[in-house]
């Protein structure tokens, strides 16, 4: 007898091995996606702070406003007394001093 192909047992074994590999990689992929989302939020906050700092170079008023970008709320505040610019988003707070 001459067989040209895989037997049912070989096919099931390779399918189960492939499924095992995919399932073991799934948590890592979810972590990567979560980290990417976190870094995207952080980058957006820094971009908003950069834009706001350019505005406050020529303006000496304290201000506070909220921006919603991609269903995420960012609270941007500038305190003239301590010359500090802050962004608050998703339980994170980024502050830096301005000149």
Could you report the per-residue pLDDT of 9-58, keeping only the tens digit for each?
888 999 999 999 999 999 999 999 999 999 999 999 999 999 888 877 77
CA distance linking residue 45 with residue 93, whole number of Å:
9
Strand-by-strand arrangement of the 92-97 sheet: 63-69, 72-79, 84-89, 92-97
Could you report the per-residue pLDDT of 62-77, keeping only the tens digit for each?
889 999 999 999 999 9
Record the pTM: 0.71
CA distance linking residue 96 with residue 49, whole number of Å:
9
Q: What pLDDT band is residue 8 in, cutting at 50, 70 and 90?
A: confident
Would you say 84 and 95 are in contact if contact means Cβ atoms under 8 Å apart? yes
Token pair listed for 98? 């301005």
Residue 77 has a pLDDT of 93
């Amino acid at each position: 007898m001459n067989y040209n192909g895989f037997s049912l047992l070989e096919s099931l074994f390779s399918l189960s091995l492939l499924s095992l590999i995919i399932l073991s990689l799934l948590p890592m992929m979810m972590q990567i996606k979560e980290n990417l989302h976190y870094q995207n939020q952080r980058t957006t906050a820094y971009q908003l702070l950069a834009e706001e700092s350019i505005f406050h170079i020529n303006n000496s008023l304290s201000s506070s406003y909220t921006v919603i970008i991609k269903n995420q709320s960012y609270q941007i505040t500038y305190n003239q007394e301590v010359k500090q610019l802050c962004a608050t988003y998703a339980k994170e707070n980024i502050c830096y001093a301005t000149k």
